C-alpha cells in the first residue's frame, strides 16, 4: 500500500494551498515537510528533487512532482474529480484556469508594501466582481445543476470555493450581488470532506502573516519588493 502523499512547502498558503484543498476534498490524508531554512531548500535542490529548482513539490505514488498545475491535474484524475469524459475535463480545465487567474491577483498580496496592499485589494475586488464572479454566476445559472460541470463534484468546484473564500477575506460581502454563488458556496462548504477541512485544526492554512512572508523571503532569498498588479 502506497504511503501518504508528502508535501514540501512553507507553513503557509502560497501555491501549495490548492493542493491541500484538493487532497482534503478527495478525503486523502497527507503529510507535510515545512521549509524553514535555506539549508532545507538547498538539500532538495542538490538531491535533484526539484526538477525546475522550485517548490511546491509533492511526493506521491513514487513520483516527486513539481509544477502546481501538473500536481493538481494528477490528484484530480486519480481521485475522480476530473469529469467523466474529455469534454467535461476541458470544461474543468477552463474553469480552473479562470479561477487561477483570479487567485493570481491574491497570492502575492502578503509580499506587498502597505500602500500597495490597499491598491491591490481594490484590484482584487474589482476583478472578482466585474470579470470572474459574473462568469461563474452565469455558468451556474445556465447549467442549472449543483456543480459547475456535469452533475458531479469536481476539481473546478473545489478551486472556485477556495477562490471565493480568499476574496471574501478582502471584502466580506463580495458575494452580495451573486445569488448563485452564494448558494454554491453554502452547498460546497457542506460537503463532509470540505466541511472538515474548513473546521479549526485542519491542515488548511490561515491568512499569511509576517512570519510566513519573512520565512519565504529568507529561504528563497527574495531581496526585492514585489509590485502590485
CATH number of the domain enclosing 59: 3.40.30.10
- Structural domain contains residue 50: yes
- pLDDT at 1 (0 to 100): 45
pLDDT at 19: 98
Q: Tell me the HSE value of 145 on the side-chain side, using a 13 A CA sphere.
A: 10
Q: Is residue 229 part of a domain?
A: no
**Which residues are 213's β-sheet partners?**
none
- Give me the helix-helix angle, 155-168 and 86-107, nearest 10°: 20
Looking at the fold, whether 131 and 210 belong to one and the same domain comes out as: no
What CATH code is carried by the domain that includes residue 149?
A: 1.20.1050.10
- Shared domain for 99 and 147, answered yes or no, is yes
Q: Is residue 93 part of a domain?
A: yes
Going residue by residue through the chain, which has 229 residues, state the pLDDT in tens, using 9 for 90 and above.
Answer: 468 999 999 999 999 999 999 999 999 999 999 999 999 999 999 999 999 999 999 999 999 999 999 999 999 999 999 999 999 999 999 999 999 999 999 999 999 998 999 999 999 999 999 999 999 999 999 999 999 999 999 999 999 999 999 999 999 999 999 999 999 999 999 999 999 999 999 999 999 999 999 999 999 988 655 565 5
Owning domain of residue 19 = 6-79+198-220
Measuring CA to CA, how many Å separate 61 from each of 74, 160, 167? 10, 27, 33
Check: CB of residue 216 under 8 Å from CB of residue 14.
Answer: yes
Within-domain flag for 225: no
Q: What DSSP character marks residue 228?
A: P
Q: Is residue 1 part of a domain?
A: no
Q: What's the confidence (pLDDT) of residue 88?
A: 97
Region for 61 from its dihedrals, namely left if φ exceeds 0, alpha if ψ lies in -120 to 50, beta otherwise: left
- The shares of helix, strand and coil residues in the chain, as percent rounded to the nearest 5, are 55, 5, 35
Which of 14, 198, 174, 9 lies closest to 110 in space, CA to CA? 14
Q: Which residues contact 152 (CB under 8 A, 6 or more apart)?
A: 83, 84
Are residues 90 and 164 both part of a single domain? yes
What pLDDT does residue 227 have?
62
Regarding whether 186 and 104 lie in a shared domain, the answer is yes
139 and 173 within one domain: yes
Question: Which H/E stretch holds residue 92?
Answer: helix 86-107
Neighbours of 128 (CB within 10 A): 25
Taking the C-alpha atoms of residue 64 and residue 50, their distance in angstroms, rounded to an integer, is: 8
The neighbour count for residue 224, using CB atoms within 10 Å, is 8
> Looking at the structure, do residues 53 and 101 belong to the same domain, yes or no?
no
What's the structural domain count of the chain? 2
Query: Based on the domain organization, do 90 and 72 belong to the same domain?
Result: no
- Residues 72, 123 within the same domain: no
User: Do 20 and 50 lie in a common domain?
Assistant: yes
Same domain, 115 and 30: no
54 and 122 within one domain:
no
With respect to residue 228, please indicate whether it lies within any of the assigned structural domains: no
C-alpha dist (Å) from residue 207 to 63, 170, 178, 191: 30, 11, 24, 23
Is residue 105 one of the residues assigned to a domain?
Answer: yes
Whether 74 and 116 map to the same domain: the answer is no
β-partners of residue 65 are: 58
Spell 88-123 as b/e; 16+ CB within 10 A means b: bbebbbebbebbbebbebbbebbbbeeebeeebbeb
Amino acid at each position: 500500500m502506497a504511503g501518504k502523499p508528502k508535501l514540501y512547502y512553507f507553513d503557509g498558503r502560497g501555491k501549495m494551498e490548492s493542493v491541500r484543498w484538493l487532497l482534503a476534498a478527495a478525503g486523502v490524508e497527507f503529510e507535510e515537510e515545512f521549509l524553514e531554512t535555506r539549508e532545507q531548500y538547498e538539500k532538495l535542490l542538490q538531491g535533484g528533487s526539484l526538477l525546475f529548482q522550485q517548490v511546491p513539490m509533492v511526493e506521491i505514488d513514487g513520483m516527486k512532482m513539481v509544477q502546481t498545475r501538473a500536481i493538481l491535474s494528477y490528484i484530480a484524475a486519480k481521485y475522480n474529480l476530473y469529469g467523466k469524459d474529455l469534454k467535461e475535463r476541458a470544461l474543468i480545465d477552463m474553469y480552473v484556469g479562470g479561477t487561477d487567474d483570479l487567485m493570481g491577483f491574491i497570492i502575492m498580496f502578503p509580499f506587498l508594501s502597505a500602500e500597495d496592499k490597499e491598491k491591490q485589494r481594490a484590484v482584487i475586488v474589482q476583478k472578482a466582481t466585474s470579470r470572474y464572479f459574473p462568469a461563474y454566476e452565469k455558468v451556474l445559472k445556465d447549467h442549472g445543476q449543483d456543480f459547475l460541470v456535469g452533475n458531479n463534484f469536481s476539481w473546478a468546484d473545489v478551486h472556485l470555493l477556495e477562490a471565493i473564500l480568499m476574496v471574501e477575506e478582502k471584502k466580506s460581502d463580495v458575494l452580495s450581488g451573486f445569488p448563485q454563488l452564494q448558494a454554491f458556496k453554502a452547498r460546497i462548504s457542506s460537503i463532509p470532506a470540505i466541511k472538515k477541512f474548513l473546521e479549526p485544526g485542519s491542515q488548511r492554512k490561515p491568512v499569511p502573516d509576517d512570519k510566513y512572508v519573512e520565512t519565504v523571503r529568507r529561504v528563497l532569498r527574495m531581496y526585492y519588493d514585489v509590485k502590485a498588479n
